[in-house]
């Protein structure tokens, strides 16, 4: 029935409006209402910036986390050596698929890409 359709849905929020950083209580009110009325999970992606500051504690303080039973999943940065292996594999695959165009990336370019993403494979 209807519940089986909702079992396979979720809402993913990757970009949180700055308004909530200025006034987190408005987000907390929305989350409380969502927790009472919704049937599908709500997932937030919060990326730490390069300085290590995070909006996570501001947006999701301990009392809200406990009240709404919020789970936190953290990912460690990908090691530079592993990142280089993946980038080399991607570059080789792309080069073999585009033989008529020479798009091969040199090692220096791949190292710059690796450093620029700071261990975040999504970058």
Query: Mapped to the 3 state alphabet, what secondary structure does 5-59 carry?
Result: HHCCCCEEECCCCHHHHHCHHHHHHHHHHHHHHCCCCEEECCCCCCCCCCCHHHH
Angle of helix 107-116 relative to helix 80-97, nearest 10 degrees?
130
| Residue 54 resides in a domain | yes
| Residue 121 resides in a domain | no
Residues 46 and 103 in one domain: no
Residues 7 and 56 in one domain: yes
Residues 84 and 59 in one domain: no
Q: Quote the pLDDT of residue 59.
A: 92
Domain span at residue 17? Answer: 2-67
| Residue 26 resides in a domain | yes
Residues 22 and 63 in one domain: yes
How sure is the predictor about 3, in pLDDT bands with cuts at 50, 70 and 90?
low
Q: Quote the pLDDT of residue 102.
A: 64
| Residue 34 resides in a domain | yes
Per cent of the chain over pLDDT 70 is 83
Q: What is the mean pLDDT of residues 45-68?
A: 80
| Residue 74 resides in a domain | no
| Residue 123 resides in a domain | no
Q: What is the mean pLDDT of residues 83-94?
A: 87
- Number of domains within the chain: 2
| Residue 75 resides in a domain | no
Q: Is the pLDDT of residue 116 over 70?
A: yes
Q: Quote the pLDDT of residue 93.
A: 86
| Residue 13 resides in a domain | yes
Q: What is the mean pLDDT of the chain?
A: 84
Q: Is the pLDDT of residue 79 over 50?
A: yes
């Amino acid at each position: 029935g209807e519940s089986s359709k909702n079992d396979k849905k979720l809402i993913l929020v990757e970009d949180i409006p700055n308004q909530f950083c200025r006034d987190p209580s408005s987000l907390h009110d929305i989350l409380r209402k969502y927790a009472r009325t919704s049937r599908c999970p709500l997932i937030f992606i919060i990326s730490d910036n390069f300085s290590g500051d995070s909006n996570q504690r501001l947006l999701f303080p301990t009392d809200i986390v406990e009240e709404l039973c919020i789970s936190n999943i953290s990912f460690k940065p990908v090691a530079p050596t592993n990142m280089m292996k993946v980038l080399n594999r991607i570059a080789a695959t792309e080069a073999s698929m585009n033989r008529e165009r020479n798009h091969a990336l040199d090692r220096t370019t791949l190292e710059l890409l690796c450093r620029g993403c700071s261990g975040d494979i999504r970058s």
